[in-house]
Structure 1
Amino acid sequence: MSYPEIPDISRLSVDTRGAEIVDDVTEDKDSRGIYLPFHTESVSHIALDIGGSLAKCVYFSRTSRRRSSTASSKSTKSTNRNSPPPLQPPPSPKPNGTLTPNILKPISNDACTPVSPLYSSGGSYFDVQSSSHSDSAKIRPGFGSHGRSKSKHIPGGQLNFVKFETEHIEECIDFLRNLIDQSANVNDVSLDQMRASIKIVMTGGGAHKLGDVFEDQLKTAVAKEEEMECLITGLQFITTIPKEVFWYSDELVYSVSHKKQKKTILPQEELPRPSPNPPQFSVSFDKPTEFEYPCLLVNIGSGVSIIKVNSDGSFERVSGTSLGGGTLWGLLSLLTPATSFDEMLALSETGDNNSVDMLVGDIYGSDYGKIGLKATTIASSFGKVFKKGDNNRKKEFKPEDISKSMLFMISNNIGHIAYMQAEKHNVDRIYFGGCFIRGHAATISTLSYAIRFWSKDNHGGSAIRSPSPPPAAPPKYESYTFKGRELKIRLESFHPLWAHYLWNASRVFCNYLINNNLCKGKSVCELGAGAGLPSLVSALEGADKTVVTDYPDEPLLNNLRINVGECLEENAQNKIKVEGFVWGSDIANLLAANNGNKFDILILSDLVFNHSQHNSLLKSCKGLIAQGGQCLVFFSHHRPHKAKEDMGFFDKAAEEGWIVERVVEERVGVMFEEDTGDEGVRATVHGFKLTL
């Protein structure tokens, strides 16, 4: 019996209209699917990329509606994604949905869906042209040039992602065998028919080494594709999808606050060498189809390959390094109890590399201002580990601290090499990709920060070009009325830590403090204060002592001191102190500012959006709160699709023994009109009280 021909994988149109990541289906964020509600093109193959450390598998399962994640959400509700997971092997992955064999898709030339170049709804079609059908190493942009789909079927489906350790590749083979078996059963076809109707398309080094093994054991066709050509084709594809290519920079902040200016060019600032806690720059997105030549693609897997894509679409590997994700994984496997890459990243999120790395302050005792080095700058990665004659010193280092130091070391090195190659080849656009990044904020931030420093802001991770920056804009002021008196709150003209806004939550916070007469005679500490409005009102309300804190960045702290001087009378000024503080670090200085005592009231205004810092915030709060004290947390869901992650702060607090009580819910208006998401959600300020 003959079966219909498998659709040519060299030309596959992907309809990305309405595409969305399916959150909360799995605890493994790398295995979240992509829902494609309008995709109709036949997909009868499984994609497999086998690298030195991981084998990554992608397959498409047909569905006409988005899968519900309710059940999964219930089962994982108590899981804290910011804390290290249990140090034990993860369970074997199971197929999510089934394949649809090509035998069930009859050819229909008259029932077809036109393919348009772009859609106003924000999605697009992208015509993938397989590298194995090219005569030269070039990529050719295309948008559905073949015009019509050959098959008719229900639109909608999901791209499913799953990964395996290459060392245990037999688990991947077992997974695919189960997927094929289940698909045959669900579609009511024989196993032979199912195998004949699909194809495994492989790339990566393992495709050459293991291709025959997959073909023999799974009894299905295997096609091998060249890795570098797949990388470039994939890069071109991903640039057509909204909000998939992004960079960490100040540009979005500057453009919002300077809408009347035609060019959104960043003010030039002196940047220190990559620091142990690089600022969390705002996220800016490329517009779809904004792919530009020439550029560099820095693909970070087990090792690192740096590929230059030329103006004519040709490409070449120009550099690389053996110090990549495999290095991090290997060394941390020796130095920590973690058994997977995800566990290592989770450890790094709660670590403090200051106990492992030698800083400039450890050598000079303070900043080395003459050459622009701050005391907190890393002078030597792992520089504190070696100490002559002390054989027990290694026992003092925590796995979390080691993980964070190693992550910074590898990421900074990659960023530096990428910058040097961009300079050498006169390229001002750098794309970072690869499984090493995996959406990890500290990794992305460190790569971006390294590029910013070494290039003096002329390059950026993913895309930044700033030829002739204008001088910094003057500070701006916002007003708040305190009992008939206008307080003029000075704001930074822009700041990577968002201190250039007077947030709605801070205004509602102040009203709550005043209306409930909470501050008189109390000690107050504000974390992540920004411009410090709630702290100023606390002092005006008669707080016995107020300590206002934010990240130890001098312009930020100086702005707080200016607000204290301009908004408070001398008597109140004597009862308030500005301190630099990194969440989760030593609280001794903050307690010393309150005569060695803990605080009656803790203020957290618009901080819970920083999901990776929930653990550190709660650690600091627990150390700072006095017996019988209260921690007040006010915020808005500026990103409605991340509301659950925002609320994860309170789930974690409850797990740690805090009593959580909602005290405020007030609609006040949106901060950013141009943002997406439900306006009612973005316009509402929520207030919670936490007590122990």
Structure 2
Amino acid sequence: MFPSRITSPTPPIPQTEDIFSSALSTLFTDDVQNSHGVPGSHVTYHSRRFGDIELRIPQHPDVEEGRKLFAHYLWNAGVICADAVEEASRDDKRAEDREDGGTRVKWNKSYWDVCGQSVLELGAGTALPSIISALSGAASTTITDHPSSPALTTGAIEQNVKTNILERDKRKAPNDESTTTVGEVNIFGYTWGTTPMYSPSSYGKPLPQHQQPTSFTRIIIADCLWMPSQHVNLVKTVLHYLDDSDPGNCALVVAGFHTGRETVRNFLEIATGDYTLLAAKVEEQEDTKGNSESEDTETKHVAGRLRAAEIFEIDVNGLTRSWEAVREGDSREAAKRWCVVAVLVRR
């Protein structure tokens, strides 16, 4: 269901490789594509509410620092997150209870409805969830990625915002439900765990203090968990920017298992302090004795300060199941089909 929302343009004169590539999902029905697009190309997200969203995929970066960010693809977590925001932000009952191809998808409006909210997306890449948030009525949308990310350095995010938000009125589809007035949309460079944000064109030069954002009511984290070394920094960012004036303000986390369930579990354990697998944690600590004491101190400072108001797993067809820290017999191929969905709030 979710991967079928993404299509790539067909070349004017298709080659054998193009035909074969477009038929992969039909030929290999058990294999799931969890990333979409070719670096530097375009894909289309087919939205029920807003019609086609044309997305430029960032180019493959020339420097190693940028390649490690994996911003040059659209990942399934971003597609699932976009669907959640899109459906929950509807005004009608379909937002709470929708039949979709025989499966039932429920998104809790208390968290996923972004109408009137201030939204921050971390590690945005193509910025699909942010674009959907802006079209769905967010009061403000702040799109961020690492200052060295090709999503910023090649202007991919800027182009996606221009095409799908700023120029949208010129080519609205008949069933387009986007709001007539889109809130403020900003694009900044940002390094997780720090406080300053940067102009996307000025790597290393922070925005003036009066332009620095202060807080947000919704923070989107879609497929940003593949680097365990950044888990503490992600939690620090949430604690710094999540508005504490309302207990319903939250971080919306969607992450695939393609880099391992233990990687996802590690982030959730740090964020919530729920170390459900103490033995496994001890083994991890034995394997990382070389870590500095300062890193341990930082972990203790942020660990357990958030709570999972909701957490479950969802597959590419919209089927849901309970979250399991360890799922026996889950092969790597099967794991590619699933993502964890977590709503984190302050304790």
SS of residue matched to 1:535? helix
- How far apart are the structure 1 equivalents of 2:314 and 2:224? 17
Structure 1 residues 511 and 663: alpha-carbon distance in aligned structure 2, compared to 1, 3 A threshold: farther
The more displaced of 546-555 and 591-600 is 591-600
Cα deviation, residue 587, structure 1: 3.7
Structure 1 residues 610 and 654: alpha-carbon distance in aligned structure 2, compared to 1, 3 A threshold: same
Asked if the contact 1:587/1:620 (under 8 Å) is kept, the reply is no
Instruction: Give the counterpart letter for 1:614 in structure 2.
Output: H
TM normalised by structure 1 equals 0.29
Cα deviation, residue 596, structure 1: 4.7
Structure 1 residues 580 and 615: alpha-carbon distance in aligned structure 2, compared to 1, 3 A threshold: same
Structure-1 residue corresponding to 2:77:
505
The gaps in structure 1 that reach 5 residues or longer are 1-258, 262-472, 670-675
Structure-2 residue corresponding to 1:685:
339
Corresponding position: 1:646 with 2:218: no
- How far apart are the structure 1 equivalents of 2:138 and 2:209? 17
- How far apart are the structure 1 equivalents of 2:210 and 2:257? 33
- How far apart are the structure 2 equivalents of 1:666 and 1:561? 30
- How far apart are the structure 2 equivalents of 1:493 and 1:260? 21
Instruction: Give the counterpart letter for 1:486 in structure 2.
Output: D
Structure 1 residues 493 and 595: alpha-carbon distance in aligned structure 2, compared to 1, 3 A threshold: closer
Structure 1 residues 592 and 546: alpha-carbon distance in aligned structure 2, compared to 1, 3 A threshold: farther
SS of residue matched to 2:143? strand
Q: Deviations over 1:589-615 (max 9, x none)?
A: 689688754100000000111111001
Instruction: Give the counterpart letter for 1:536 in structure 2.
Output: I
Structure-2 residue corresponding to 1:435:
none
Structure 1 residues 554 and 588: alpha-carbon distance in aligned structure 2, compared to 1, 3 A threshold: closer
Structure-1 residue corresponding to 2:255:
635
Alignment of 1:226-375 (within 5 A): none
Instruction: Give the counterpart letter for 1:564 in structure 2.
Output: V
Q: Which runs of 4+ in 1 moved over 4 A?
A: 570-574, 588-596
TM normalised by structure 2 equals 0.56
Structure-2 residue corresponding to 1:579:
188
Corresponding position: 1:485 with 2:133: no
Corresponding position: 1:476 with 2:93: no
- How far apart are the structure 2 equivalents of 1:560 and 1:500? 11
Asked if the contact 2:314/2:338 (under 8 Å) is kept, the reply is yes
Structure-1 residue corresponding to 2:159:
562
Structure-2 residue corresponding to 1:361:
none
Corresponding position: 1:615 with 2:232: yes
Q: Deviations over 1:598-644 (max 9, x none)?
A: 100000000111111001111111000001310011011003xx312
SS of residue matched to 2:217? strand
Q: Deviations over 1:165-203 (max 9, x none)?
A: xxxxxxxxxxxxxxxxxxxxxxxxxxxxxxxxxxxxxxx
Alignment of 1:133-152 (within 5 A): none
Instruction: Give the counterpart letter for 2:189 in structure 1.
Output: G
Instruction: Give the counterpart letter for 2:166 in structure 1.
Output: E
Q: Deviations over 1:292-322 (max 9, x none)?
A: xxxxxxxxxxxxxxxxxxxxxxxxxxxxxxx
Asked if the contact 1:634/1:688 (under 8 Å) is kept, the reply is yes
Instruction: Give the counterpart letter for 2:44 in structure 1.
Output: S
Alignment partner of 2:313 out of 665, 681, 686: 665
Structure 1 residues 615 and 525: alpha-carbon distance in aligned structure 2, compared to 1, 3 A threshold: same
- How far apart are the structure 2 equivalents of 1:677 and 1:632? 26
Alignment partner of 1:550 out of 134, 145, 150: 145
Asked if the contact 1:565/1:573 (under 8 Å) is kept, the reply is no
SS of residue matched to 2:232? helix
Structure-2 residue corresponding to 1:516:
88
Q: Deviations over 1:502-555 (max 9, x none)?
A: 111111101111222211111000011111000000000011111000010274
The gaps in structure 2 that reach 5 residues or longer are 1-15, 19-37, 62-66, 90-112, 168-179, 199-206, 274-303, 318-329
Cα deviation, residue 475, structure 1: 2.1
- How far apart are the structure 1 equivalents of 2:164 and 2:45? 11
Structure 1 residues 685 and 538: alpha-carbon distance in aligned structure 2, compared to 1, 3 A threshold: same
- How far apart are the structure 1 equivalents of 2:150 and 2:226? 23
Q: Deviations over 1:246-282 (max 9, x none)?
A: xxxxxxxxxxxxx969xxxxxxxxxxxxxxxxxxxxx
Q: Deviations over 1:214-252 (max 9, x none)?
A: xxxxxxxxxxxxxxxxxxxxxxxxxxxxxxxxxxxxxxx
- How far apart are the structure 1 equivalents of 2:210 and 2:85? 22
Structure 1 residues 498 and 554: alpha-carbon distance in aligned structure 2, compared to 1, 3 A threshold: closer
Structure 1 residues 594 and 546: alpha-carbon distance in aligned structure 2, compared to 1, 3 A threshold: farther
Structure-1 residue corresponding to 2:129:
534
Asked if the contact 2:197/2:212 (under 8 Å) is kept, the reply is no
Asked if the contact 1:591/1:624 (under 8 Å) is kept, the reply is no
Structure 1 residues 501 and 588: alpha-carbon distance in aligned structure 2, compared to 1, 3 A threshold: closer
Asked if the contact 1:591/1:598 (under 8 Å) is kept, the reply is no
Asked if the contact 2:131/2:161 (under 8 Å) is kept, the reply is yes
- How far apart are the structure 1 equivalents of 2:141 and 2:210? 9
SS of residue matched to 2:270? helix
Cα deviation, residue 556, structure 1: 2.1
Alignment of 1:99-118 (within 5 A): none
Structure 1 residues 691 and 554: alpha-carbon distance in aligned structure 2, compared to 1, 3 A threshold: closer
Asked if the contact 1:509/1:605 (under 8 Å) is kept, the reply is yes
Structure-1 residue corresponding to 2:32:
none
- How far apart are the structure 1 equivalents of 2:224 and 2:269? 15
Instruction: Give the counterpart letter for 1:562 in structure 2.
Output: Q
Instruction: Give the counterpart letter for 2:131 in structure 1.
Output: L
Cα deviation, residue 580, structure 1: 0.3
Structure-2 residue corresponding to 1:439:
none
Instruction: Give the counterpart letter for 2:268 in structure 1.
Output: F
Structure-1 residue corresponding to 2:285:
none
SS of residue matched to 2:56? strand
The alignment's C-alpha RMSD in Å is: 2.9
- The number of equivalent residue pairs is 215
Asked if the contact 2:307/2:345 (under 8 Å) is kept, the reply is yes
The more displaced of 657-666 and 477-486 is 657-666
Alignment of 1:20-99 (within 5 A): none
The structure that has the greater radius of gyration is 1
Asked if the contact 1:587/1:624 (under 8 Å) is kept, the reply is no
- How far apart are the structure 1 equivalents of 2:229 and 2:114? 30
Instruction: Give the counterpart letter for 2:86 in structure 1.
Output: I
